[in-house]
Amino acid sequence: MSPSLDVSAYHNLLRSSLAEDIGSGDITTETVVPATQRARGDVIAKAPLILAGIELFAEVFLLLDPTAEAEIRSHDGEELVHGQIPVRVTATARALLTGERVALNLLQRLSGVATLTRHFVRSIAGTSAQIVDTRKTTPGLRMLEKYAVRVGGGHNHRKDLSEAVLIKENHIRLAGGVGAALQAAQAAKSRAKWIEIEVTNLEELRDALAHGADMVLLDNMSPPLVRQAVEQVRSYDQGRKIRTEASGGITLGNVREFAEAGVDWISIGALTHSAPAMDLSFEIEPE
């Protein structure tokens, strides 16, 4: 079942996006198209994709025209084929033309994230690993992009800096080492969901395990080295259930090797920072 999306929570985002695009007015539409004319618009998939953001797409037109009606034929999480029409919107022609770019940009972007995520999820099918996102998201669109990751079958890492402790290379350097950073981080244990630290080799991993990490991020390690690290964690664990995460240099071509190395999470920044927009068009006809 696809995750749900409360579109009302994004009204301010939609309004600000429309204001950015419309400026002082859509002078082309206002001079060419009569105010009373009504029309219908069909979204058409131009390539196979995983749909994400369809209700948000429809909401753009409802904000511009309260009489707009959306016939949603496909829902988030569904796989579309070339030529498929997931939604038809009927409204004033001006609303359809003015809202087209904002609505389509969001739908193409979120469907791109969901589609890329689904490719990674399918690549590790049958393993115990999970595909997770990162904070490498578009400013202002983080929660929507993380929603799209879930639509694609992935999982969310931290939603923001307040959710969990993740000690990375710069933290370690400034704190004075792995042990010192983890010792200081214990002060946040009551309010953090977990305490995680990045390690780049087995020596750092041993140090992290000795100083109470709940989770270790195996950064830019090869699959064979990741396997060694996972085995070391399991031999040390003694019931603490320390989780492992692999990150860095992971592609569709090698992700299964990392999954088969035994990690719990595989985090991939590309899910949100490099997902290509899906090819969707919006074709409008007079009603």
* Catalytic site positions: 101, 136, 168, 198, 219
* Beta-carbon contacts of residue 147 (< 8 Å; ≥ 6 apart): 3, 5, 52, 110
> What token pair was written down for 180?
């010192």
Can you tell me the distance from the alpha carbon of 64 to that of 272, in angstroms, rounded to the nearest whole number? 29
Q: What angle, 0 to 180 degrees and rounded to 10, lies between the N-to-C axes of helices 11-22 and 54-64?
A: 60
Can you tell me the distance from the alpha carbon of 171 to that of 166, in angstroms, rounded to the nearest whole number? 9
> What token pair was written down for 4?
């749900």
**Apex CA 144: angle with CA 74 and CA 42, to 5°?**
30
Question: 231 with 237: CB under 8 angstroms?
Answer: no
């080799």: which residue's tokens?
Answer: 201
